[in-house]
Amino acid sequence: ATLRAAIGDGLPRFTAEERALLKGSSDFFGINSYGAAFATNPFLGLSLPLPGYDTFAGVKLEEDPAWEKTDFGWSIVPWAFRELLLYIQKRYQPAGGIYITENGCALEPEASKAL
């Protein structure tokens, strides 16, 4: 399945000339990251949740149960962010570099933990 097939007219259509103007025109690559997951094949008998970007990409996201979690269940996987940044650099080679615009995890405030 393609994103176009899933979203249809929700995605803009560009002419060949517009695509040529856009290609390589970004100033930088900005990324937000808060966790990690493995992409698995949803067609191996797994059910997909409500539609999201993973559904549109045709994958189901899974976490390794061995990964450390925050108090709110967010996975703590620093090596995954490093691998993602290396992949983006190798695949896209953004001329203006990669900017980490958001990053982190949710933690229970220390004052609340004691209660």
pLDDT in tens, 73-109: 889 999 999 999 999 999 999 999 999 999 988 777 7
Helices H / strands E in the chain, number of each: 5, 6
CB-CB contact of 62 with 37 (8 Å): yes
Look at residue 30 and give its three-state secondary structure: strand
Check whether 114 has a pLDDT greater than 70. no
- If we measure between CA atoms, which residue out of 90, 39, 42 comes closest to residue 61? 39
- Region 54-60: mean pLDDT is 70
Bridge-based pairing of strands 75-76 and 68-69 is: antiparallel
- Find the helix or strand (DSSP H, E) in which 39 lies: strand 38-40
- If we measure between CA atoms, which residue out of 35, 38, 40, 32 comes closest to residue 68? 35
Of all residues in the chain, what percent carry a pLDDT higher than 70? Answer: 78
In angstroms, the CA 53 to CA 57 distance is: 6
Structure tokens at 9: 């007219």
The dihedral over CA atoms of 104, 53, 85, 62, expressed in degrees to the nearest 10, equals 70
Q: pLDDT class for 52, splitting at 50, 70, 90? A: low
